[in-house]
Amino acid sequence: MIAAVALLASVGLDIGRIFPTDLGSPSGKLVYAARTGDYQALRRCFLEHEWVDLDLDSALDAAAAHSHLRIVQCLVEFGATDLESALLSSVVRDNVKIASYLISKERSHPATNTQVAQTLAAGIGAINCDWLLTAHRSDELRSS
């Protein structure tokens, strides 16, 4: 069971996205700002670089992995789309606020990998996210 959870976590979480090697590139700067929770540096990245040069999804994953809700919200509003990976990252930190935000029906495209995320939460002992995702999945099953 533990091996399955470890495999699931390693497949879902791409560490290279969270810790970029080229911090001088526009995306590297953005990911670093997201990882450290530096909102001003994040804004500078958007102002100083072309959006096509910025990897919003890697920055989203980094912000979720380091529990920076404000940065997560900003990146989603600016167009980050890989909410599934960010959900797994937030579950690893047992961050209910970020997980709740990512699966919220208020999103036009919420994270949909709730079963995988709930299995991960149960396997690593992320009790708060396990409860949140179990309740969410239960509500989904009742409404369908």
* Domain map (residue ranges) of the chain: 2-143
Q: What's the first-to-final CA gap in the chain, in angstroms?
A: 30
Average pLDDT, the chain: 87
C-beta separation of 54 from 27 below 8 A:
yes
pLDDT digits (tens, 9 = 90+) for 42-61: 999 999 999 888 999 999 99
pLDDT of 73 higher than 50: yes
pLDDT of 104 higher than 90: yes
CATH 3.10.350.10 fits 2-143, yes or no: no
Q: Which residue has tokens 């990897």?
A: 55
Model confidence pTM above 0.85:
no
pLDDT of 11 higher than 50: no
